[in-house]
Amino acid sequence: MYRRIFAEYEIVFVVRYKYVICIVCFFTLIVFDAWLSEELWHSAQPDSRNVLDAVWEDIVYFPIPESSFDKKGYSVSYTDSFMQSRSYGGERFHEGCDIMAGINERGHYPVVSVSDGCVEKMGWLKLGGYRVGIRSPNGVYFYYAHLSDYAPELICGMEVKAGDLLGFMGDTGYSEVEGTTGQFPVHLHFGIYLNEADGEEKSYDPYPFLQELEGHKLEFYYE
Ligand SMILES: [Zn+2]
């Protein structure tokens, strides 16, 4: 008896307020759909903001110090060339930023570490020539390629501080033959790599970080 009365009351309620119920259901669905889309979108995205926080925290100095001898004459330049196409060694994308020497002379411009860290890799690479890789405290891998020479006493495993000399800008690389030079103008190829949550290494555009470091250049005496 009680159940029947209640059921009838329910039916009357539904009939009387059917439009209101429809509208409420409709908006509930919209809100739920928006929430679900947002959740799915976020779960599909790498957490790039947090990942890049590691880079922002670790960078201290621009990789090429200014010359106290002649700031303008010995300046360097760069554009955002990240992910431009490259063909040497097969079709690929440019995973870094090229800092070009104002004076096309190998061994002239010092290259310093942008961060504290540990020298993880050194030696010859077919693409990068003489390169050095520094692993920073937050796990960022800073890659410096095409060096003409290494800093004296720089060895794998040693700790470096931001601003420490790593070597000199050059034009080594683009050859299986160690020591090859002259395949392109003198420049520093600067790369930034981070390990994703799944352990895969991914490169990030160094350009915005270099721009930030424009105001943080060391001054060395070189002519
Ligand atoms: Zn490059």
Q: What is the CATH number of the domain that holds 158?
A: 2.70.70.10
Q: How far is the CA of 94 from the centre of ligand 1 (A)?
A: 6
pLDDT at residue 45 above 70?
A: no
In whole angstroms, what is the distance from residue 51 CA to residue 139 CA? 10
Cα(20) to ligand 1 centroid in Å equals 63
85 in the same domain as 21: no
Identify the DSSP state of 169: -
Domain encompassing residue 205? 48-220
Q: Of 38-42, 70-74, 184-188, give the lowest mean pLDDT range.
A: 38-42
Is residue 91 located within the same domain as residue 199? yes
If one counts the domains in the chain, the total is: 2
- Which pLDDT score, from 0 to 100, does residue 1 have? 56
Considering the domain architecture, whether residues 33 and 59 belong to the same structural domain is answered as no
Same domain, 39 and 98: no
Say yes or no: 109 and 145 in one domain: yes
Number of H helices, E strands in the chain: 4, 15
Cα 180-75-143 angle, rounded to 5 deg = 50
Tell me, in angstroms, the distance from the centre of ligand 1 to residue 145's CA.
Answer: 8
Residues 38 and 130 in one domain: no
Do 131 and 151 reside in the same domain of the chain? yes
One domain for residues 183 and 127: yes
Identify whether residues 13 and 90 lie together within a single domain: no
Q: Which residues are within 8 A (CB) of 208 and not within 5 positions of it... i.e. 6 or more apart?
A: none
The b-or-e profile of 158-185 (16+ CB within 10 A means b, else e) is eebebbbbbbbbbbbbbbeeeeebeebe
Write phi, then psi, for 144 (nearest 5 degrees). -120, 120
| Residue 117 and residue 37 in one domain | no
Give the pair of three-digit tokens for residue 216.
């943080």
Give the per-residue pLDDT at 91. Answer: 81
Q: In this structure, are 169 and 69 located in the same domain?
A: yes
Query: For 119-144, what is each residue's pLDDT tens digit?
Result: 999 999 999 999 999 999 999 999 99
Please tell me the distance between residue 183's alpha carbon and the centre of ligand 1 in angstroms.
12
Q: How confident is the model at residue 86 (pLDDT cuts 50, 70, 90)?
A: confident
The average confidence (pLDDT) of the chain is 87
pTM comes to: 0.76
| Rounded mean pLDDT, 207-220 | 93
State the distance from the centre of ligand 1 to the C-alpha of 189, rounded, in angstroms. Answer: 4
**CB burial of residue 20 (10 Å; 0-12, 13-18, 19+):** exposed
Find the range with the poorest average confidence among 6-15, 155-164, 169-178, 208-217. 6-15
Same domain for 17 and 99, yes or no, is no
